[in-house]
A and B are shown apart, each in its own frame.
Chain A
Amino acid sequence: MPPIDLPQGTLDLLILRTLSVGPQHGWAISERVQQVSSDVLRIQQGSLYPALHRLERRGWIKARWGTSDNNRRAKYYELTRAGRKQLEVETDSWQKLTAAVAQILESA
């Protein structure tokens, strides 16, 4: 199955969900999303980094410098408390949305 483009507004949700497991750097986030979705979802770097900066500005994630597996300096992002709350809100509304869309698809 070829990768599909992310629907509008889901990128933030995916980043927040990925970070809820633990702090990660940008490359790991994109790799993980790709793996977990069995290569269906692929995040373009061009949208990943602006999104990370936007989320940081909103105070949902924070960044600190750490050392990666291959012993290099990398920037790690982690969820803040506000970010956790935001994740709940977005997960909730996402589930409502997909349920509603599924309902319509089945009924028609």
Chain B
Amino acid sequence: MLTDLLYRLRALFRRSTVESELNEELRYHFDSEVDKYLRQGATREEALRRARLAFGGHEQIKEDCRNARGTGFLETSLQDFRYALRQLGSNPGFTIVIVLTLALSIGANSAIFSVISSVLLKSLPYPQPEKIVRLFLTNSIYPRFPLNHFDFRDYRARSKSFDSMAIYTRGDMQLSGGSAEPVRLYGFNITSGFFRVLGLHPELGREFDRNAELPGNGQQVILSDRLWRSRFGADRAIVGKKITLNAQPFTVIGVMPPGTEHPGNEYHSLAYGDDVDLWSPFTFDGNPARRGSHYTEGIARLKDGVTSEQAQSELNAIMAELGHEYANDARWHVLVVPLYREVVGSSQRMLLVLLGAVGMVLLIACANAANLLLARAATRQREIAVRLALGASRSRLIRQLLTESLLIAFIGGALGLVLAVGGVKALITLLPADFPRVHEIHVSAPVFAFTFIVSAATGILFGLIPAIQASRTDPRAGLHEGSRSTTGSGRISRLRNALVVSEVTLACVLLIGAGLMLRSLLNLVHLNPGFREDHVLTATVSLPYPEYKSKEQVSQFYETLTTNIGALPGVQSAAAGSDLPWTGYDENTSLNIEGKQPGPSDEFHARYHVASPDYFRALGIPLLHGRFFTAADKAGAPPVIIINRAMAEKYWNTGDAVGKRVTWDDHPKEEDWYRVVGVVGDIKDKPSSAGTEPAFWWPILQQPMAFLGESLVVRAGSDPLALADAIRTQVHRLDPALAVADVQWMDEIVYGSVATPRFAFVLVGLFAGLAIILAAIGTYGVISYSVTQRTSEFGLRVALGAQRLDVIRLVLAQAAKLVLAGTALGLILALTLARVLKSLIYNVSPADPLTFGSVGLMVIAIAVLACYIPAIKATRANPMTALRAE
């Protein structure tokens, strides 16, 4: 084995020595043979002749010896490689066009694959992630709803499907103290077992135990590695110490290792990622018999061998038992969803569509490269004919031509990889902020492997047919000096036409995809949002419970703050409210309506908010009927609400529901009724929502419970730049320990809310642009080649009196046949494929006639433009030159 390797290595690296030794050896043999014949009495001439006859082909023996040395394959490959390099170098224009188009399309594929590999293919960073599931409730009104925490305690006690279960809910906290500005920290309240579900262990200390869930034991905290390093100097003795959060002492129980990823949540959502700063215990307080409140999210780890379907049916059996015990639990079902699907869910389809689009670009680039190679094969016909005539085998010729196309593909792939590294960085900045696993996206080993395989496949795909075609060359054809009309050219031009038609077809499909996405994006951008986002600065200020225990204190704080901010120069109106549009707020309640009964399996429900008097004015939400809140709508005054138009229409079948009354009490007294004083315009939950859900607002001074975290909305007049600082100053004048978080302009929120459709459009648009350029190059190439071939024909026509226009018409007619066929095929293919886009586009039919029509016209126009230069060249055909060339 070793001698074998050493031998081959010597043969490879000391090649010239080995070769000259072989020469010498064979010469010695030959001379000995000659001597033998001389000794037998032959003349010198006769001896030489007989020796030559006996010896056979000298070169053939050498070739066989090379093969026997076991380096033949490598040596010929090296030889082919050197030859291919020379070929490409001698034709730089051709090489640059083909390498660049391949680099662009392979690079785009690698970039998209980087995203797919990191987001879809890499498993979640937890041990045995496939065993982790998320738990939701579902019923006919709410497809996915948070759990009730007392229900969860019963699941935990009664179910046998899970290794561990936990619930968690958003619980941000403020960290103040020292000289640093107060900060809002992302936090979650978790039950014991939360990290066990994830399969993670604290780096220091331990996880919460069941005791921590009991009322009064909640002041414990587990820190993230980042917070521990940035605010606590990576103090290894921190476990057991007390830190101040929300103005209360919390005991540090543990520190999580770096890379502790939050599994994502829906209610007050924080996207999957490592953004969580700290965790504190979830406290089970209140009356366990009341199960109407739902704000916790379930997560669990399945036992070995239990499927999520089995777990779901077990939990549903438990839920049915609970339904008999507690009225609030009736009619709910449990939904068990694998965590992976939850994390990547909505992004999957878009990424696969992008991969499909970018794959089409690569196919077009392949067709283009094949086309260029076919065109060049025609000019290399003599070279190939000579090789065949000298005894090269067809397979040897194909192999050499394939070496060339593989070399092109690998150069393209290497360049493409460089482009992909840059492209991935650009992609990440384009991605929506809540896109799953964004920070995990990078060009990694699988991407290198992918690029390598794609490059190899590309090289074979575009190289094989031209190589086979070329190897069919008739050896005699090239030897006739000056012969131009060669056999097989009809077959080749049919092949090239087919390639152009398919390029146009695919480009058409991509353009239609991009067109549909553009229309969808325009629909979203030009959608009347129901508010005016310009010049509105927003921020969140949360009040720590220990210092703001009563709702009067809370409403007093926001009232004073908004009054102070409203008095600042340049501020038109300042307001506070429970939330901002399009930020995912979704708090719902059931309610009773005066004089109405819900259906037997239904209930009246609506989303609730609070708003200060200027809230609607600051956001530019129009008043349709009645009035806005005023300072007089305060505690003690008659209780009032403002509703949206959707609620008025849903429950009173009229736009004007002013004067109607609702209540949240099942046995209301007169003072429990809230009167509708205004109806405001609808705002969709998300820009892409089909409709608007019913919603209402309580006046901030009449809030039925304390809304501790509220959003500030400030509409600015002239100089909005200094406003953020002014707001901070005003907040800190009232309470220096408060953090001002999420400071952003409303138009940034609006911009961010269409980030996903914008991302999809920009990418598909780029790919479509690349596709149509490639298709145009392809069409240009074929038409211009055929014009060159037909020069003498055009010359003759001109000599016989054809006009310029006639010649142009001839060329264009030829091009039109290809382009029209490609466009027609493209439109048909797009019609069938566009259906997969349905969930990605908003308010556009996948068969949108405007998009299809304009793309069809555009493709034809671009193709005609691509043929313009060859057509003009055809009109210049000089009858004399043409005839002389024959």
Contacts and interface: CB of A to CB of B under 8 A. Distances in A.
B64 A49 contact: yes
Interface string B46-73: 0000000011110011001101111000
Nearest to B29: A27
A70 B39 CA distance: 14
Contacts of B8: 57
A45 interface: yes
Given A50-B68, A58-B4, A45 B28 contact: no
Contact of B28 (A25, A50, A51, A56): A25
A53 B68 contact: yes
Contacts of B60: 46
A49 B56 contact: no
Contacts of B748: none
Interface string A30-53: 010000000000001111011101
A26 to B, nearest CB: 5
Contacts of A73: 24, 28
Interface residues of A, number: 23
Nearest to A72: B28
The residue in A31, A50, A51 that gathers the most chain B C-beta atoms within 10 A of its C-beta is A50
Contact of A57 (B31, B32, B54, B69): B69
Interface residues of B, number: 28
Contacts of A68: 28
A13 interface: no
A84 interface: no
B4 A57 contact: yes
Given A46-B61, A57-B4, A74 B28 contact: yes
B70 A57 contact: yes
Nearest to B22: A49
Contacts of A26: 25, 28-29
Contacts of B57: 46
A59 B28 contact: no
A53 B65 contact: yes
A27 to B, nearest CB: 4
A75 B28 contact: yes
B21 interface: yes
A85 interface: no
The residue in B21, B29, B35 that gathers the most chain A C-beta atoms within 10 A of its C-beta is B29
Given A70-B35, A73-B24, A57 B29 contact: no
A45 B67 contact: no
B552 interface: no
Contacts of A51: 68
A75 B8 CA distance: 19
A96 B36 CA distance: 37
Q: Is the interface of B mostly helix, strand, loop or mixed?
A: helix
B56 A45 contact: yes
Interface string B17-29: 0000110111011
B72 to A, nearest CB: 10
Contact of A45 (B22, B24, B61): B61
A50 B4 contact: no
B21 A75 contact: yes
B685 interface: no
A49 B28 contact: no
Contacts of A54: 68
Contact of B32 (A27, A46, A49, A58): A27
Interface string A50-80: 1101101111000000001010111100000
A55 B31 CA distance: 24
Contacts of B68: 49-51, 53-54, 57
Contacts of B429: none
B3 interface: yes
Nearest to A80: B3
B17 to A, nearest CB: 12
B261 interface: no
Contacts of A58: 3-4
Interface in B125-148: none
B7 interface: yes
A69 to B, nearest CB: 10
A59 B4 contact: yes
The residue in B7, B24, B55, B65 that gathers the most chain A C-beta atoms within 10 A of its C-beta is B65
A16 B754 CA distance: 81
Nearest to B33: A27
The residue in A27, A54, A68, A75 that gathers the most chain B C-beta atoms within 10 A of its C-beta is A27
B71 to A, nearest CB: 9
Interface string B685-714: 000000000000000000000000000000
A49 B70 CA distance: 14
B56 A46 contact: yes
B28 A46 contact: no
Interface string A72-99: 1111000000000000000000000000
Contacts of A70: 35
A45 B25 contact: no
B580 to A, nearest CB: 78
Nearest to B21: A75
A46 B64 CA distance: 8
Contacts of B65: 49-50, 53
A73 B22 CA distance: 12
B633 to A, nearest CB: 98
Contacts of A31: 36
Contact of A53 (B29, B32, B36, B69): B69
Nearest to B35: A70
Contacts of B29: 26-27, 45, 49
A44 B3 CA distance: 27
A50 B67 contact: yes
A73 B31 CA distance: 12
A108 to B, nearest CB: 38
Contacts of B25: 25-26, 49, 74-75
Contacts of B35: 70
A68 B61 CA distance: 23
Contacts of B31: 72
Contacts of B24: 73, 75
B599 to A, nearest CB: 89
Contacts of B4: 57-59
A75 to B, nearest CB: 5
A64 to B, nearest CB: 11
A97 B673 CA distance: 110
A49 B61 contact: yes
Interface in B480-508: none
Interface in B60-95: 60-61, 64-65, 67-70
A62 to B, nearest CB: 9
B3 A50 contact: no
Nearest to A65: B21
Contacts of A57: 3-4, 7-8, 68-70
Interface string B30-45: 0111011000000000
A31 B33 CA distance: 9
Nearest to B5: A57
Given A26-B25, A46-B56, A50-B67, A59 B61 contact: no
B61 A50 contact: yes
A70 B36 CA distance: 12
The residue in B4, B35, B68 that gathers the most chain A C-beta atoms within 10 A of its C-beta is B68
B67 A44 contact: no
Given A25-B28, A26-B29, 16 more contacts: A25-B25, A26-B25, A26-B28, A45-B54, A45-B55, A46-B57, A49-B25, A49-B61, A50-B67, A53-B65, A53-B69, A57-B8, A57-B70, A72-B28, A73-B24, A74-B28
21 contacts: A25-B25, A27-B28, A45-B29, A45-B54, A45-B55, A45-B56, A46-B56, A49-B25, A49-B65, A51-B68, A53-B69, A57-B3, A57-B7, A58-B4, A59-B7, A70-B35, A73-B24, A73-B28, A74-B28, A75-B24, A75-B25
Shortest 5 CB-CB distances between A and B: which pairs?
A59-B3, A50-B68, A53-B68, A50-B64, A27-B32
Interface of B: 3-4, 7-8, 21-22, 24-26, 28-29, 31-33, 35-36, 54-57, 60-61, 64-65, 67-70
